[in-house]
Amino acid sequence: MSSQDQLKLAESSAAVIGCGGLGGYVVLMLSRIGIGSLVVVDPDIFDETNLNRQAFAVSETIGMHKSDTAVTIIKSVNPSVVVKGFQTAMNYSNASDILDGSR
């Protein structure tokens, strides 16, 4: 990847709705490749049934909010990512506030 490509990623943003199964892996990979800004949205908490299939589900995260956990781990993987987490379900009335700034 060229430095121009990396700069383009660093100037990009993304929103991922759901930090559980697929969404957890997506936000983890986006943070690793160098996306500049992430919004993560999930109203749920981790429970034991998530352990076998979700990237952020480990014994220590049981009972924790998925969006908070995603933010914490993303910041430890790539501290330069600007990440905002929302502990809510996205719907028509809050979508514009949640997605503000995402492209």
Q: pLDDT grade, residue 99 (50/70/90)?
A: very high
Tell me whether residue 11 is in a domain.
Answer: yes
CATH number of the domain bearing residue 80: 3.50.50.80
Radius of gyration for the chain, computed over Cα atoms and rounded to the nearest angstrom: 14
State pLDDT tens for residues 30-70: 999 999 999 999 999 999 999 999 999 999 999 999 999 99
Structural domain includes residue 52:
yes
Q: Does residue 96 fall inside a structural domain?
A: no
Note whether residue 101 is domain-resident: no
Whether residue 16 is contained in a domain is answered as yes
pTM, two decimals, is 0.90
Q: Domain of 65?
A: 3-89
**Number of structural domains in the chain:** 1
Tokens found for residue 96: 């514009």
- Find out whether 26 and 50 touch, Cβ atoms under 8 Å: no
Please, where are the H alpha helices in the chain? 3-10, 21-33, 66-77, 95-99
Residue 66 lies in a domain: yes
User: Is 83 within a domain?
Assistant: yes
